[in-house]
Amino acid sequence: KHKQTKPIKTSSNISNWLPSWCPTSPTQLKDAEEKMLKGKQKREKLSFSTHLHPNSSSLLPPRSQPRMPLVLLHGLGGGIGLWIQNLDALSSCGPVYALDLLGFGRSSRPQFSTDPEGAEEDFVSALEEWRQKVGLEEMVLLGHNLGGYLSAAYTLKYPNRSKNLLDETKFHLFGSKLRGNRTMNKSIKSCLNGMVMIWARFGAITSGHSPPSGPMLVKTIRSDFKQKYSAVFNDDTVSDYIYHLNAQTPSGETAFRNMTVPYGWAKRPMLERIDGVRADIPISFIYGSRSSIDSNSGYEVKKTRPDVIRGAGHYVYADQPEDFNHTVLRILAWTEQKSADN
């Protein structure tokens, strides 16, 4: 059973003057998230409490639709708000749960195990505790990036709870460093460096604090996110949300660092373990055709049916949301039909 552990401590000398130059707080993150999710009117109140956020809302479909619940797990440095372009479509014919992983977003930020296996277990145990509190017997897991890796880890440990596994994930989290060093080119390394925020890698991940220029840095370094969400926002809503997500105490980020080697290669590659997933659990990998992340790992998993979405990069759900939503719904419909046939 997952237990709440002590929060990561920071220097008392630093904490005394930190608020004067670090423009963030849990309240500001909450406000930024609410601004991201504004207009999502199909949320329903849930009466439970766990270490994961949200513990008070979920997106639910018309009650006549019985589809298997879909659980969305974000990637490194992400949060539930980044699914804003997918929530309505994916919840149109079945329940959708989007939550912040342990150590990220508005979820608890405990001190994880420093051991790679232990840190993975912390993530998985928190997800299982959440499932129990929500009361889901079975669910379909859809994870991006780190969320995809943890979806697979959860399915390995709790095969009776995972009905289908959809991974919109990074090759390096599934493959080994040795294999990756043979194939990783400069564009991939550039992509990986870009996905881990500058202040998170050299500031928050190492010291627990973000630089005072953080908000402006996000707008400058990751200006592409504003374009990805231009159909929804025409201001700095997304940049502000991403900043506040990553300017909090680096709990999950530190766990990620302990689970990986340089450039994010997993110390416990999922590709070497995924054959342990029960044979009757379908696995689908979703890649963008313009992604710099090598998709070979997906093709090496025999049970995988890779779906390539044209014109999308690494953030498929944000680059081409309509195509992504259609692909996911098609896979879910196939899963339901397969279950009915059995």
pLDDT per residue as tens digits for the range 286-311: 866 554 454 455 445 544 445 544 44
Higher pLDDT, 303 or 131: 131
Looking at domain 26-34+66-177+184-341, what is its CATH homologous superfamily? Alpha/Beta hydrolase fold, catalytic domain (3.40.50.1820)
Q: What is the mean pLDDT of the chain?
A: 75
| Sole residue written with tokens 């998993």 | 301
Q: Count CB atoms within 10 A of the CB of residue 7.
A: 12
Length of the chain: 342
Q: Rounded to an integer, what is the distance from CA 167 to the centroid of its chain? A: 10
State the residue for tokens 């639910």: 60
What is the residue extent of each domain of the chain? 26-34+66-177+184-341
Residue 71 is predicted with a pLDDT of: 96
**65 pLDDT band (50/70/90 cuts)?**
low
Q: How far apart, in whole angstroms, are the C-alpha atoms of residue 332 and residue 165?
A: 10
Angstrom distance (rounded) from CA 321 to CA 309: 10
- Strand partners for 139: 162
Confidence of residue 102 (pLDDT cuts 50, 70, 90): very high
List the structure tokens of 152: 């697979």
CB 328, CB 317: distance < 8 Å? no
| 3 state DSSP class of 202 | helix
Among the ranges given (45-49, 131-135, 158-162, 292-296), the one the predictor scored with the smallest mean pLDDT: 292-296
Neighbours of 183 (CB within 10 A): 12
pLDDT, tens only, 18-53: 344 457 889 999 999 999 998 665 666 555 556 677
Read off the pLDDT of each residue in 131-142 and give the average, rounded to a whole number.
Answer: 94
CA pair distance 301, 286, nearest whole angstrom: 13
Which of the listed ranges 74-78, 122-126, 208-212, 237-241 does the model predict with the highest average pLDDT? 122-126
Which of 222-251 are b and which e, b meaning 16 or more Cβ less than 10 Å from the residue's Cβ? Answer: beebbebbeeebeeebbbbbbbbbbbbbbb
Question: Does residue 301 contact residue 205 with C-beta atoms inside 8 Å?
Answer: no
Place 216 in a pLDDT band, splitting at 50, 70 and 90: low
Q: Whose CA is closest to 197, among 110, 98, 76?
A: 76
